[in-house]
Structure formats: C-alpha cells, structure tokens
Chains A and B, each alone.
Chain A
Amino acid sequence: MAIIEAEGLRKRYGDRVVLDRVSFSVEEGEVFGILGPNGAGKTTAVECVEGLRRQDSGSVRVLGLDPLRQGRRLREHIGVQLQHTRLPENIKVWEALDLYASFYERARDWRGLMERWGLADERNVRFGKLSGGQCQRLFIALALVGDPKVAFLDELTTGLDPQARRATWELVKRVRAEGVTVVLVSHFMDEVEELCDRVAVLDRGAVVALDSPAGLVDGVDAEYRMSFRLLNGSDASVPDAEGLLGRLDGVTSVSRDADLVVVVGRGDFTSAVTASLARERILVGDLRIDKRTLDDAFIALTGRSLQA
C-alpha cells in the first residue's frame, strides 16, 4: 500500500521553477530517499508532502489524507525532523521529550525513547550544550515520540563528522526496523546507497530517475574496469588471454602487462569474463572490479557531479 502519493507537483517562486511535475510514491515500511544537489527542490517537495507549503498544482496524499486540508489529523501520524531548526537554548533533553509527547493523542513513552536513543545520561543537559550527534539523536527521538507511521528526516547528517554520520545511519536502520516508513532527504550518495530501498533523484526541480540504488547504478551505461593476476602463470599456459577475453560481450578492451590483465567494458561483462576464465581453467588472483557508484549514476543522469 502506498503511504505517500505525490502527483505532478509544481511550485514556482516568481519566475524560478522550484518543482516541475514531481511525482513519486512511497510504500509502507520502506526507506525512501530523495536525492539531489543543494537547490534541487528536495526540501520544497518534502514540505509540500508535510503540508508546510502549498504547491501551485498537483496533488498529495499522505496516509490517505490531504496535508493541506486535513493537516491536523495528519500531523498526529507523521514525525518530522526539519533542516535548520533548533530548540530553545535552555530547554533540557527530558523537558523537550516530555513537551513534545504532550502534543500527541497517542504518544510513545518518552522515557523509553530517551533510553533507547542513548540520551538517558543527557536527560538534564540543556539543548545548547549537546554535541552534534546528541542533537540529531534528540531530533530523531522527537520525530518518533508521537508514534508516527512515517518519519521525514531532512539532511540528517549534514555537519556531522564521519563517525557520527555512521552512528546516525545505524539509528535510521533502527527506525526502519521498528516498522516506521522513512522519507530521507539527502545530498550524500553514500548515505542514500547505504540506507534507501528506493531513491528519487531530483535535479533542477524534476525527478530524473526513480529506482533502487543498485538499479540506478546498473542503469549507468558507462565503461568500468576489472583487473586480475594470472596465477598458473607462465606466459605459455595462457597463450592468448587478450584474444580470449576480447571476444566476450561487453568487453571493449583488454591489456596485459606480464601477469597483470586489465579488462574494460560495459554492462555485466565481469560475469562473462569470470565464467570464461573458469571454463579455460585459468586461475586468477587479486581480482578487482572498480565498483560503479551512485555518483557515476548521477553524473550519467544529469551530466554533472552531485558534490560540485
């Protein structure tokens, strides 16, 4: 069942088009990524879904409700972590959780959440004194305290150090394991690749691709390379590796320097190469395949790098 359905969202500020016919749907229980460079319209799209912003045209349904007309009912069932929002400097961790729990008809036990998200030791610490990672844990806990069906997490790891980012990823996996559907807005490839079941790639306000991270990567028709060393390797035992591999589907070039062989190709040429080596009983070691990444997929889709 689709929990979120966005259909043909358009939004413009003056003559700047921010969203151009954006459509996507999010299934129950999945982690859905919205990926794109800064200014691609990710946050605006999510804000339309949350009912914070009114689209010029197009329709949104979340849990079967209209976010603009039935916002109050909807907000009982969604949890949101917004980009660029903070809490009052002097509020203590437990006070924030207690307060936010009081906003919802069916709130979760905030003490349990505080334990679960590793904030028990900080219960009396004021918001202004929390570290970046602790803030994010608190924001996630606040997003979950209303026992939501969907959680929206916007640029969760921006500004965190690599270790804290990894730790936050584990938290997102836990949210999902608890059965909460997650919409994750990010401009980090590795994050989306690690966490998301499906991704909508946004560029200049339009959805340019929508697939699983692996599907997006497979969709890239760019050359990549594999390399290996011949083990049973005097030249005599493998007379013509170039000739043998060069004929395979997808292989565009083979080069050899003593026992090191480098094969370049497209598509799924690597399985053809390994199968062929096995058939000829050629033993190889040091096998390396230069993995294509979502970054390559993004460049192929938009013609430029995400981080640029």
Chain B
Amino acid sequence: MNTLAKLATVETKLLVREPGAVFSLLIPLFILVVFGGAITEGDTVLLPMAVTMAIGLVGLYLLPTTLATYRERGVLRRLSVTPVRPGSLLAVQLLLQLVLTVLAVSLLLGVGIGVLGARAPGALVLAAVFLCGTGAMFSVGLLIAALASNGRSANGFGVLLFFPLAYLGGLMQPADRMPDILALVGGYTPMGALRQSLHDVWSGVPAPLPLVVMAVYAVGLSLVAARFFRWE
C-alpha cells in the first residue's frame, strides 16, 4: 500500500507538471466562457459540448501520450525488474486521468451552472452518462497507446482523431445544422454519442441508444487495446 500511495503521489506531481493536463482543464473552460453569453436557463447545447470536449481531450490526447511516452522511455520496463508490477503504474495513471477528468467536468459545471446560469441536471443520470462516456473515450485512448510506437506518434494519432471525431460528434457546429448523413454517422461515434446523451440529460431523460454505443466502444476497444498492448 505504501508503494501504491507513493506511486500515486509521484504520478500526481508529474501530471501537474505536464502542460497538457492544464490545457485539458482550460481549453473547454475557455470555450464555455467565450460562448457563455449565449447560455440561458433552458440551454441544452453549450454545456454538453464543453463537457464532451473536456473528456475527449483527456481520453484522446493526454492519456495515450502519457502511456506511450512511458513505454517509449522504458519506464514500464524498468519497473518490471523491481518487485512492483508495471501494471500498477498503468492502474495509477488511469485513476489519475479519471480524477483529472472529474475535476475538468466539475469546473465546467461549476462555472456553467454557478456563473453562467445553466440549469443543474440530475446528479445520478449525469454520473451514469459521464462514466459511460469516459469509459468510451479512455478506451479510444488506450487503443492509441497500444498501437502508437512512441509518445509523439500517440500525440499525433490523438490530434488526428480528435478533430474529425469532434466534427462528427457535433462539437464544431450543432448536430441539427449538419448534413443528415454526417449527423447520423456522428451519433455512432464515441464523442457524438456522449454529446447526445449529455444533451438528453439536460433536456429530459437519456435515450438508450447512445448509452449502448458508448458501452460497446468502452468494452470492445479496451479488449482490442489489451490484446495489442506491449510493455516495451
């Protein structure tokens, strides 16, 4: 336990020193605040977009870059010649990235609801959608980490995936203003499903389909990632 606590402490410090972590917190917040003037109490669009973006940045960009860099630098390999399993480091990292995501989303909700005056959604429904969406997005990140040969290519994959997914997911422009076929396809992408579910959370009760889509991504991609993951 002492080992895991120490590992968590050090990894937290490293995460705080990582500029990417700060960006994942600030970029969605910046967008929320810039467009925040448009928020009314009945708004169901802007906050879901910002929350989806925050989860996407951590899952597609920060998580895979960190893991692939650790493998590239031999950090995981070095651990495997100590009494500690390198899997512990992965577990600690996943947990920290989850904590960071919770922080980013809480920050957005705090500002969106507290300052900009958006309506507060049901906590339980929100938590369920958040977990499904984070699971889906992290599994994409794990797959990138498994396939990328080093930190820089993981970063590249993440950026390359983020923009098309963000577009299809309706983060660049509202889904009802997109061509029908793209909006339809977008509903089956991890980001699109998450944004749709969050939209449902604010406007009523989440439909089952986007939740199922996210769960399928989370389980399926995680399995593929585990199959292809290399320690060195």
Contact = CB atoms under 8 A, between A and B. Distances in A.
A72 B77 CA distance: 14
Interface stretch (A76-84, A111-119, A240-248): A76-84
18 contacts: A52-B81, A75-B83, A80-B81, A82-B78, A85-B73, A85-B77, A87-B78, A88-B75, A95-B10, A95-B13, A98-B10, A99-B6, A99-B10, A102-B7, A103-B3, A103-B84, A146-B82, A146-B83
Contacts of B74: 82, 84-86
A104 interface: yes
A100 B191 CA distance: 39
B7 to A, nearest CB: 7
B80 interface: yes
A91 interface: yes
- Residue with the greatest number of chain A CB neighbours at <10 A, chosen from B77, B78, B80: B78
Interface in B84-129: 84
Interface in A42-97: 50-52, 72, 75-76, 78, 80, 82, 84-88, 90-91, 95
B10 A91 contact: yes
Contact of B82 (A90, A95, A103): A103
B81 A75 contact: yes
A100 to B, nearest CB: 7
B80 to A, nearest CB: 7
Contact of B83 (A72, A86, A87): A72
- Residue with the greatest number of chain A CB neighbours at <10 A, chosen from B75, B78, B82, B84: B82
A105 B84 CA distance: 11
A270 B104 CA distance: 79
Contacts of A98: 6, 10
A75 B84 CA distance: 9
Main secondary structure of the interface of B (DSSP, over half): helix
A196 B96 CA distance: 45
Nearest to A85: B74
A51 B77 CA distance: 12
Contacts of A100: 82
Interface residues of B, number: 21
A86 B13 CA distance: 18
A105 B2 CA distance: 11
Contacts of A95: 10, 13
Interface in B1-21: 2-3, 6-7, 10, 13-14, 17-18
A85 B78 contact: yes
Contacts of A52: 77, 80-81
B75 A99 contact: no
B81 A102 contact: no
B149 to A, nearest CB: 14
Interface in A27-44: none
Contacts of B70: 88
A103 B83 contact: yes
Contact of A82 (B3, B7, B13, B81): B81
A90 B3 contact: no
A102 B2 contact: yes
- Residue with the greatest number of chain A CB neighbours at <10 A, chosen from B17, B74, B75, B81: B81
B14 A88 contact: yes
Nearest to A142: B78
A88 B70 CA distance: 7
Contacts of A82: 74, 77-78, 81
A91 B73 contact: no
Closest 6 CB pairs of A and B: A85-B74, A80-B81, A102-B6, A90-B17, A86-B73, A103-B82
Nearest to B232: A52
- Residue with the greatest number of chain A CB neighbours at <10 A, chosen from B3, B83, B84: B83
A78 B83 CA distance: 10
Interface in B52-92: 69-70, 73-75, 77-78, 80-84
Interface in A86-144: 86-88, 90-91, 95, 98-100, 102-105
Contacts of B84: 103
Contacts of B73: 85-88
A102 B89 CA distance: 14
B14 to A, nearest CB: 5
Nearest to A139: B78
Contacts of B14: 88, 90-91
